[in-house]
Structure 1
């Protein structure tokens, strides 16, 4: 390993995972030939493609290079009852958004997943959908997959969500779309709005407005068949976050990450690290597929600890593990609160991050809804557990790229869920 961490390169990251899931779902619910480029070929998105195929949809394989695929949609009414359980793998987005689309279909099917997904909460989705008229039977642990979905005619709903969650919101909006009934969701603050953006681009009427208790999103379905999509999926900001973090920890150099989605509901991590002392330039700003896109240019920074509160977490929820790991190299203390949702992700990310940091010799304390990390410049060494969680593996992989650190990841292959080729790219831009 080189004695200094130098970053350089002009790179791209895989297509956005959240947008890829939705592009596949909308293209099969549309009527006509959709043309999609830049789809993430990771395991989670392959799970969505597989589930759609099991419902009778024509979905080609996802190219490793993000090349164009063509999806011939026949409308959501053409979806057919599957012959077997629908396996969502490790993908919570697949399971939760598909529940919304299946809630209005006139057949019964069962959604399941791997051991991790079968332990994650689903009543936050089945609750509002049941109020609309769908029926659910839990075949496993209470509130968890496997869950049998019996769809049919649905009624309108004006749902007040207890948390800002794009998956809750999207499930209700998709159920309303599929059933042709108006729906609204009020959430404490605006969560990721990719579903609303695609609906609007397809000609549906979606309104977002301030409301008592937060933000209200309303869909009034047109009843017309959805037109096919023409979409190039931008780079995933959650994936870009790991390369940004690497550049911040470097001693010299500069990294350019091209074509990254900078949707304001997805850039919380970049705002937080700027508070820590980073300078991130966003160049060549433009719009692609209804999403704001730019090139990110970033280099080394001297980081300082910050406080992160509940209002800042939703826009950075997937990047909090990387932020906490960066805090181990910041001056002073970083306190993260309001992030209890991390306990029900692919793993308990609060326990996983804090425990792994302690294994490496960092002072890290778990809170019920977050953690406290005290920065150090000491060399760090140890074997960390990824807990089969791609974001845990990548976050500690970035820390391991720093000269002087000796960090071993127990299952490095789990990064393929969202970032195939991550380790090769990490070595390439760091000269490792």
Structure 2
């Protein structure tokens, strides 16, 4: 389903939110490093999660079973490596998953095997300079294709003091936090700039704690990591994903009542902030995550801590009263697409009034958009945001590259139809 036509219609009903992609990546990696068998409930096999599971299998973990449950997701069991990285395949294909790439690269330095990391799409050119500086400092050999993937790594990672910028991507910090406890000496990570996306690092620390890894966090400015630690197997259930719920909560505010189920009220997911943000705009959302039609107004939004929410916030702002300013969001230019350019270009193609800035957007809200032909830029969050925008369009919306949702939410279009959306393939 590469090009679809959406005829604007009212969405309403109850939608079960897929499991958190961020937590799933982390749980799979922790299980793969553990001493025995880890059972993980509620895994949703998007392309990104497939990439991480295949990656840890390449590093020596074993998938014991994969069973579909009554909710449509999967329960799996992983036999861990006990922290002994012994690759059975020295090429890891990360597909288009930045998390897979940046989380697993440090594990190449835990074995004596030359490892190759490959990918496709925009991932090929996603920056890895943070790791390159570490490799240079520790005399680890690496080769790339003029700064692009594939990346070959040949050398052992050593305990050290790692000085890392915090305003590039928290994924580098997570990658180091996974691997450094397995080294034979103590290490420190020192932030040289303020850490953005702290919530993602908090999520990593929470999973590490569950799997018996101890990290001392000093106000997200330093991380002290004891060496010679061991991951201990545990059973774990992945909770629903607030970054995916963001689309349906937003839809409920501009359409009809939509309830999102399988969300954890006590979650530490950073993207849980979408609830606060939508309420700040005037959205009516109950404690059990029922969103209902609301009079929305523009706000000022800092995109540095929750970058994945920017496309849907821009979308909802484009059909709200007043002006919304999104700032500190320059990192969105190096995601699956240049998301600032992608979302502003395509919403403007639908009739929105958005001005693109170097590090953000200025959005002048309208009551309705026009509709028309738009492109996903092969970016799942752009495709899903445009689908929500279609609710407030006067004419049909045609989305090219609609299959991009497979990256994180393969059943998105099925859920859209289930809620009353009128979608068909278009040639």
Global fold match (TM > 0.5): yes
Q: Deviations over 1:171-228 (max 9, x none)?
A: 2212312324332343624241221111111222222233xxx63333224x243211
Q: Secondary structure at the match of 1:255?
A: strand
**Deviates further, 353-362 or 264-273:** 264-273
Matched, 1:76 2:83: yes
Look up the match of 1:289. Answer: none
- Distance in 2 between the 1:160 and 1:280 partners? 39
Look up the match of 1:86. Answer: 92
Shift of 1:34: 0.5
- Residue-pair matches, total: 408
Matched, 1:236 2:241: yes
- Distance in 2 between the 1:158 and 1:169 partners? 10
Q: Deviations over 1:219-277 (max 9, x none)?
A: 224x2432112110011111111111111111x33423323473152323222222111
Look up the match of 2:214. Answer: 205
Matched, 1:307 2:300: yes
**Deviates further, 24-33 or 374-383:** 374-383
Corresponding residue to 1:361 among 348, 351, 359: 351
**Deviates further, 166-175 or 42-51:** 166-175
- Distance in 2 between the 1:15 and 1:246 partners? 19
- Distance in 2 between the 1:375 and 1:236 partners? 28
Look up the match of 2:3. Answer: none
**TM-score normalised to the size of structure 2?**
0.89
Look up the match of 1:159. Answer: 163
- Distance in 2 between the 1:225 and 1:326 partners? 45
* Contact 2:134/2:162 (8 A) holds in 1: no
- Distance in 1 between the 2:135 and 2:274 partners? 31
* Contact 1:172/1:185 (8 A) holds in 2: no
Q: Deviations over 1:346-374 (max 9, x none)?
A: 01001101110111111111100111111
Corresponding residue to 1:101 among 95, 102, 107: 107
Let me know the Cα RMSD of the aligned residues.
2.3
Alignment of 1:38-49 (within 5 A): 38-49=42-53
Look up the match of 1:54. Answer: 58
Matched, 1:344 2:334: yes
- Distance in 2 between the 1:194 and 1:397 partners? 29
- Distance in 1 between the 2:154 and 2:294 partners? 53
Alignment of 1:81-230 (within 5 A): 82-83=89-90, 85-128=91-134, 130-131=136-137, 133=138, 135-142=140-147, 144-163=148-167, 165-180=169-184, 181-186=186-191, 188-189=194-195, 190-192=198-200, 193-210=202-219, 215-221=221-227, 223-230=228-235
RCO higher in 1 or 2 (8 Å CA, sep ≥ 6)?
2
Q: Secondary structure at the match of 1:105?
A: coil
The 1:176–1:47 alpha-carbon spacing in structure 2 relative to 1, beyond 3 Å, is: same
**Deviates further, 43-52 or 73-82:** 73-82
The 1:156–1:164 alpha-carbon spacing in structure 2 relative to 1, beyond 3 Å, is: same
